Structure 1
């Protein structure tokens, strides 16, 4: 979780405490507010100290319980600003994966040059439908989110039409581990590797592989996407980070450039993909 996010959440907590202590009928203690809301006292404490993120419903109830229902809009605006950069999977996936795919498709449409780093999965822009289906299913199980797999797969595959748009460029680097990760049956992975081999010939795509046996100038950390030089989207287990400040973007560009120095391309990349396919024992 970013320092900026922590600071914003702590500031929201201080505002919640102000509302509790400024109740029109007299200061409420944390225990009194917890009783009014039917919450645990620990929840009140965690929200006020910035150790837990409130939901929009939490903020509405807080404003009403502290006698300031009109403050709900202000609190929810603070929450929206806080989550514009740190988008928790719990909230994003409340309605399933399709809405997440639609949000990122809008960014793809605005982008001319997309740089992708993937450390453990085949990049979504070049996934087969069957491979994507297994990825979405496993993620939905982990996150306990609604399973709208087919809608999500269709959205992801439709986005790949950009690969054939001559006005766009895709620079994709993957760690070799992504070619071996059995997040799907071996037959599905074999077909996915065939798809990767075919992508190497596209004019709009530069596909690089960082081999297992190459010296690394930096460890292969979390996956991220660079949309032109205006936005970075990075994934973590709890959330997506949407980074648009110049210093943050500059850091990811340096990471990208460093990883790229260890990647191989064209025939060398094709040989690594072929080697991974043979390791599956596929014909």
Structure 2
């Protein structure tokens, strides 16, 4: 292995998918600690690319490249959650690189005033509370798995450039079925769907993942809509051409229906 190749290999960042929680996550000490410990266990990124369930927009759209106000995309929460800030530096160089990598897949748009939404900044507050790492958010252009897999694959070279590629969502996301009490009983369909995801991701079974709507048990209850699941497909895409380990740094279910399962590739 040449010296440049060795340096690239040593610098390679993981690609990850995380369960981003709601703004209430910031009051969950155990979950905050898990996210913080995960960040500490990974190499420190030079910059972060966020693909959040809360921004689905076609074509692929690049968000703000300078520090702008956050997007408080939630309603009827206590006022303190609208006072949370995360003034991370913008990442204009990363934006240029993303445009270069994704250009061959189609048109890339820009939304220079679009700040980080809660699917992006809530986990970052927990993982990198200093807000001192440049962050760029890019939209999901579709909910179809196959194009998102290719999008992740196109973004994979960023990992060798010190960029942490993050898919942010939830493997299960059924708000109507959630039980917000602290002693909620976990629903069997949520457990079954979570176990299926764990098996498919651990085996890197891309065919099953792309066909999850037909193959996964309990999918209709687990995912009445699909925007929270599909960021994991992009994360898999960023790992698909690399033989590397798969780990689950955070697991467990909360509110009876939500799996906290998060995934690290590499």
TM-score above 0.5, yes or no: no
Structure with the higher helix share, 1 or 2: 1
Larger Rg: 1
Determine which structure has greater relative contact order: mean sequence separation of CA pairs < 8 Å that are 6+ residues apart, divided by chain length.
Answer: 2
Give the TM-score, by structure 1 length.
0.27
